Amino acid sequence: MREQYRSESFSEDDLAADPMQQFARWFRQIAAGGMLHEPNAMVVSTATPDGVPSSRTVLLKMYDEHGFVFFTNYESRKGRELAANPRVSLLFPWHPLARQVIVTGSAARVGREETAAYFRTRPHGSQLGAWASDQSSVIGSREELVRRYEELSARYPEGEQIPAPPHWGGFRVVPATIEFWQGHENRLHDRLRYVREDANGDGGAGGGAAWRVERLCP
């Protein structure tokens, strides 16, 4: 199966000075177009210290000049792997526009205040689910999971404040590289990658970084 991509041009002259500004530009465009049900869905890839990889789809909850934030159970597979090896890759597969954004960088936990503030915005059922599920662990049956949920629902009825689980919270991915991929026909795609100019290349912390732009062969 193969499809010819027919899309708009994308060159160095089109780029924002900062990759997070460029990400915001593309994200707003695809979100406003209504072409994707969840444009903030991204594939998060982690690895153990000895290099065994794993990937899963996670929802981006915030982005700014400091990086990309998502939330998870810290005791899940990705949580444990990031604790041991903070290197991470994010992939936004925006196929309707023949676009991808690929991020590499390092992840660190956000503060508990930030986690608690976000947790309060989640739907009641999602708050209960964060407590009910020991994410990535083996469970005997779905009935066991539902039973846990129902017990929590009785303890915390709708309208009752639910505390954020201590084992649950956010990760902020500070990018070292961000590649913007625009598909074109005949595999002559545009791949423009921002590379952070840090001496150690680990993504550093905070905004205001210097970046260079590289064009990659498709």
pLDDT, tens digit (0-9, with 9 covering 90-100), for 186-206: 888 999 999 999 745 454 544
CA dihedral 26, 194, 106, 206 (to 10 degrees): -80
CATH number at residue 194: 2.30.110.10
76, 79, 118 from 162: Cα distances, Å: 21, 22, 12
pLDDT in tens, 133-161: 999 999 999 999 999 999 999 999 998 99
Mean pLDDT for 165-179 is 97
Which residues constitute the domain of residue 25?
12-112+168-216
Q: Is 135 domain-assigned?
A: no
Mean pLDDT for 62-74 is 97
Looking at residue 9, its pLDDT comes to: 81
Among residues 155, 161, 23, the alpha carbon closest in space to that of 92 is found at 23
What is the DSSP annotation of 138-154? --S-HHHHHHHHHHHHH
Yes or no: say if 42 and 30 are a contact pair by the CB < 8 Å rule.
Answer: no
Helix (H, G, I), strand (E, B) or coil at 43: strand
Q: Is 122 domain-assigned?
A: no
What is the average pLDDT value for the chain, to the nearest integer? 92
Answer yes or no: is pLDDT of 6 > 80: no
Q: Is 136 domain-assigned?
A: no
Q: Is 174 domain-assigned?
A: yes
Q: Is 184 domain-assigned?
A: yes
Q: Is 4 domain-assigned?
A: no
55-64, 103-112, 193-202, range with the lowest pLDDT: 193-202
Rounded Cα gap, residues 25 and 9, in angstroms: 15
Which amino acids are annotated catalytic? Answer: 187
Between 206 and 217, the more confident residue is 217
Yes or no: say if 103 and 178 are a contact pair by the CB < 8 Å rule.
Answer: yes
Q: Is 145 domain-assigned?
A: no
pTM confidence score: 0.90
Number of structural domains in the chain: 1
Yes or no: say if 189 and 9 are a contact pair by the CB < 8 Å rule.
Answer: no
Rounded Cα gap, residues 7 and 183, in angstroms: 7
Looking at residue 3, its pLDDT comes to: 66
Q: Is 154 domain-assigned?
A: no
Mean pLDDT for 169-186 is 96
